[in-house]
Amino acid sequence: MIIIVVLAVFGVVGLVLAFSLGGSEKYSREDIDNFAKCLTKSGTIMYGTFWCPHCAKTKKKFGESFRHINYVECDPNGENEQSELCLEKEIDKYDTWVFSDGSRFISEPSFKELSEGSGCPAPEVKNG
């Protein structure tokens, strides 16, 4: 029981830190929406956990557009968990992005890296 409490506290602290740190790059919501939809259409999948600070940073980068991402929750205690699938796919680091060709990128990929892996055009940085 103590381990669960410690993990929960660690997760909350990680999420708070992740959400308080943000990049200075600006993208239009429409561009990020289109990018997220393209990632899903291309077969790209993000595997993560609700307590993972890297996952939280990635989710923050997408903002509201994250709802378009094909996301698999790997923690058995998470909402809509698919931990058996994560074990089957040998996902042991978070966040792990798997592309349609089977290649992977682990831990907070940039939009450019996701674009290169998926073939989807990355959103362009907007000035101002």
Report helix, strand or coil for 104.
strand
pLDDT per residue as tens, the chain (128 positions)? 555 433 444 444 443 333 333 444 588 999 999 999 999 999 999 999 999 999 999 999 999 999 999 999 999 999 999 999 999 999 999 999 999 999 999 999 999 999 999 999 999 887 65
87: domain CATH number is 3.40.30.10
Residue 88 in any domain: the answer is yes
C-alpha distances in Å from residue 118, one per residue of 16, 78, 111, 121, 128: 30, 27, 10, 9, 28
* Total-model pTM: 0.77
List Cβ neighbours of 127 (8 Å cut-off, separation of 6 or more).
Answer: 26
Residue 65 in any domain: the answer is yes
Q: How many CB atoms lie within 10 A of CB 66?
A: 15
Q: Which domain holds residue 110?
A: 2-118
Residue 128 in any domain: the answer is no
Residue 48 in any domain: the answer is yes
Residue 123 in any domain: the answer is no
Residue 125 in any domain: the answer is no
Rounded Cα–Cα distance for residues 36 and 45 (Å): 11
Contact 111, 35 (CB under 8 A): yes
Number of domains in the chain: 1
